Structure 1
Amino acid sequence: MNDVINSGALNLMSLVVSLVLLVVGLVLWFFINRASSRTNEQIELLEALLDQQKRQNALLRRLCEANEPEKEEASQPTKAKEKEDDDFIRLVAER
């Protein structure tokens, strides 16, 4: 009779331990899955930011390229004037 009670208690303890391990496993899975989904959302947001930054850089490059010819045209006569000024400075003796 002692064997029957002990084997029943052993089976009950085994079942309780299995259920506890199952609950702990499910809780761990929940938190790991939640952290993973949050990480995926953050990665998506970072990728969206990167895409926007690339677009901004492309727009800035276009603006800079559009403004460069105006500056070059204005600076070309200045370069010729600077060259004349350099020639004049070369003629003046340094102290």
Structure 2
Amino acid sequence: MNEVLNSGALSFASLAVSVVVLIVGLVLWFFINRASSRTNEQIELLEALLDQQKRQNALLRRLCEANEPEKVAEPAALTARQEDDDIIRLVAER
């Protein structure tokens, strides 16, 4: 047993395990970093889209306000007509 420990096989095995752990760690780091950068790009695109939609909504509101027909005096005449109808309804029919 002492021959195995002294021969350097143990140090070679620990070195091999260290290299495998290092390679696995680098591969994991690569994929995590890649996913993180893609996520950051998507967030930037979504923020730009949100900003553009806000500008479009503001423009649409201004266009709608500019194209609204002006209110005329018809509601006042309509209210007077309804009051006349109410008076007629009060008179009993014979």
Please tell me the TM-score bracket, short chain as reference.
0.7 to 0.9
Q: Distance in 2 between matches of 1:52 and 1:67?
A: 22
Shift of 1:4: 2.3
Alignment size in residue pairs:
89
Shift of 1:76: 2.5
Shift of 1:46: 0.5
- Select 1:82's aligned residue among 75, 78, 94: 78
Q: Distance in 2 between matches of 1:39 and 1:88?
A: 68
Higher normalized helix content (fraction of residues): 1
Q: Distance in 2 between matches of 1:48 and 1:92?
A: 63
Gaps of 5+ in 1: none
User: What fraction of aligned residue pairs are identical, expressed as a percent?
Assistant: 63
- Select 1:91's aligned residue among 82, 87, 91: 87
Letter in structure 1 aligned against 2:81: D
Task: State the partner residue of 2:26.
Answer: 26
Q: Distance in 1 between matches of 2:88 and 2:19?
A: 99
Letter in structure 2 aligned against 1:54: K
Q: Which runs of 4+ in 1 moved over 2 A?
A: none
Q: How does 1:8-47 map to 2 (within 5 A)?
A: 8-47=8-47
Gaps of 5+ in 2: none
Bigger RCO (CA 8 Å, 6+ sep): 2
